[in-house]
């Protein structure tokens, strides 16, 4: 049979064509920048577990620090998350948490003074925030088990406790800390500047994935902040549920992006690498793996595009967000494993990028609610029966 030219783009389902013309043009321009600049530069930073301040500044110039507030469509925002993940998953975690949980919380729940103080710098990526919810002894059960406390004393809040796995915790200008008010038992949100006495952050090292993201253990030892540092819209944890739900769905976009990255790397390798006198791309098993990776990625993209429509219509529920997150990250784990296998021994080296993706996929599978917890949320929704204690 006659050979054919490769399909020009991995978007076989034409998801990008659903964008309005102006957003599609911006998307294509940003994708080209991410692939030409961010993707190759990220590898050394990932290997060294080092934060690339210069690359983040470039993301700010491209408007990626204000996706939550710039008025673009849900689909455009999601596809931006895809493309940052396609270039580097660590930076996609930064961009997503920054928009969904930091900018989103301050914009939706903050005071006018807090918005004026923080949103301009956050939008430009000249300032960073950290979202401090998870604790050393409480991850999946954080809503009921949160131990960090806050007490109002002489016009100041006094915050005491510990947080773990907090992205950007060692480099952020402030942490958005969730603590239980000793007066009424409610979990509330507080802006804690990281230069305040009693705030200590220690980098968590030796991670197998998201190595650019500076996750931290944080200790809050009677940290005093002004009474005005409490988010007025975050007087109980339920007020944050909508944004936490959306951030869970955001990881589904990451799952699609890492699969497209795996496909890009695997296809290029299969076309260039020769074994037994011919390109790997001519072997049936290699073609089958490429087709399955792209099929998984396309299914994930289609699922997330529909989720964006549901979000736009105001119909997104936690069960749908949990299903999107669990499904796309499960497929991502499978796709990246196939990509690693396709590259053989070279698949375990970050020199060929697939080894980098292999570690990152494990993190996506676990954070923002583990795969198992999200599956149980879906199970509860479809049966009406809770499997949680």
pLDDT in tens, 342-383: 999 999 999 999 999 999 999 999 998 889 999 999 999 999
Give the pLDDT of residue 389.
65
pLDDT number for residue 145: 86
Express each pLDDT in 210-257 by its tens digit: 999 999 999 999 999 999 999 999 988 887 888 888 888 999 999 999
Residues 253 and 82: beta-carbon distance below 8 Å:
yes
Helix (H) or strand (E) holding 301: helix 284-312
CA neighbours closer than 13 Å in the CB half-sphere of residue 118: 29
> What local confidence, expressed as pLDDT, does residue 107 receive?
96
Predicted confidence (pLDDT) per residue in 246-282, tens digit: 888 999 999 999 999 999 999 999 999 999 999 999 9
* Mean pLDDT across the chain: 94
pLDDT attached to residue 1 = 54
CA dist 29 and 42 (Å) reads 19
DSSP string, 105-156: HHHHHS-HHHHHHHHHHHHHTSS-EEEE--BTTBSTTHHHH---EEEEETTE
d(CA 120, CA 115): 8
Torsion of CA 142, 146, 152, 155, to 10 degrees: -40
Across 196-207, average pLDDT: 97
DSSP strand pairing (174-181 vs 129-132):
parallel
Asked if pLDDT for residue 326 goes beyond 80, the answer is yes
What are the phi and psi torsion angles at 365 (to 5°)?
Answer: -65, -25
Asked if residue 340 lies in contact with residue 353, where contact means CB atoms within 8 angstroms, the answer is no
Per-residue pLDDT reduced to its tens digit, 134-145: 999 987 787 788
385: pLDDT strictly greater than 80:
yes
pTM exceeding 0.85:
yes
Nearby residues of 318 by Cβ (< 8 Å), 6 or more positions away: 241, 245, 248, 377, 381
For the stretch 96-105, pLDDT in tens is 999 999 999 9
Q: Which residue bears the tokens 């105001």?
A: 314
The candidate with the shortest Cα–Cα distance to 304, out of 98, 79, 99, 85, is 79
Residues 6+ away with beta carbon under 8 Å from 306: none
Distances 195 to 128, 223, 311 between C-alpha atoms, Å: 13, 10, 37
pLDDT number for residue 163: 97
> Could you tell me if 158 and 224 are in contact, meaning their C-beta atoms sit under 8 angstroms apart?
yes
Sketch out the chain's domains with CATH numbers.
Answer: 16-124 (1.10.540.10), 129-235 (2.40.110.10), 239-383 (1.20.140.10)
Run of H or E residues at 199? strand 199-203
Q: Which residues contact 225 (CB under 8 A, 6 or more apart)?
A: 156, 157, 159, 190, 191, 192, 193, 196
Q: What is the mean pLDDT of residues 159-178?
A: 97
Q: Is a pLDDT exceeding 60 seen at residue 65?
A: yes
- Identify the band that residue 2 occupies on the pLDDT scale cut at 50, 70 and 90: low
Average pLDDT over residues 63-85: 97
């Amino acid at each position: 049979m006659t050979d054919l030219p490769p399909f020009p783009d991995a978007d076989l389902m034409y998801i990008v064509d659903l964008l309005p013309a102006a957003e599609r043009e911006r998307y294509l321009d940003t994708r080209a920048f991410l692939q030409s600049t961010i993707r190759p530069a990220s590898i050394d930073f990932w290997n060294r577990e080092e934060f690339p301040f210069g690359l983040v500044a470039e993301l700010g110039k491209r408007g990626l620090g204000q996706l939550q507030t710039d008025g673009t469509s849900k689909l455009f925002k999601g596809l931006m998350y895809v493309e940052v993940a396609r270039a580097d998953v660590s930076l996609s975690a930064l961009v997503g948490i920054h928009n969904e949980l930091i900018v989103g919380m301050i914009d939706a729940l903050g005071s006018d003074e807090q918005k004026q103080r923080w949103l301009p710098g956050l939008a430009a990526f000249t300032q960073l925030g950290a979202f401090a919810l998870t604790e050393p002894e409480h991850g999946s059960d954080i809503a009921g088990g949160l131990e960090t406390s806050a007490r109002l004393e002489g016009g100041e809040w006094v915050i005491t406790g510990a947080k773990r796995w907090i992205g950007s915790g060692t480099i952020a200008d402030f942490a958005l800390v969730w603590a239980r008010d000793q007066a009424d038992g409610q979990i509330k949100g507080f802006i804690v500047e990281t230069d305040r006495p009693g705030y200590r952050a220690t980098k968590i090292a030796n991670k197998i994935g998201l190595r650019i993201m500076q996750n931290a253990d944080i200790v809050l030892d009677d940290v005093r902040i002004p009474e005005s540092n409490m988010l007025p819209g975050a007087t109980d944890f339920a007020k944050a549920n909508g944004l936490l739900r959306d951030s869970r769905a955001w990881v589904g976009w990451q799952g699609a992006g890492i699969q497209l990255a795996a496909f890009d790397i695997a296809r290029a390798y299969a076309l260039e690498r020769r074994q037994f006198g011919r390109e790997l791309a001519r072997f049936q098993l290699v073609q089958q793996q490429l087709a399955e990776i792209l099929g998984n990625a396309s299914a994930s993209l289609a699922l997330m595009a529909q989720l964006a429509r549901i979000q736009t219509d105001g119909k997104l529920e936690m069960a749908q967000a949990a299903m999107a997150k669990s499904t796309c990250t499960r497929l991502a784990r499978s796709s990246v494993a196939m990509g690693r296998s396709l590259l053989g021994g070279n698949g375990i080296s970050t020199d060929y990028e697939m080894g980098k993706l292999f570690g990152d996929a494990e993190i996506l599978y676990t954070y923002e609610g583990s795969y198992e917890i999200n599956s149980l949320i879906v199970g509860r929704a479809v049966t009406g029966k809770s499997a949680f204690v």
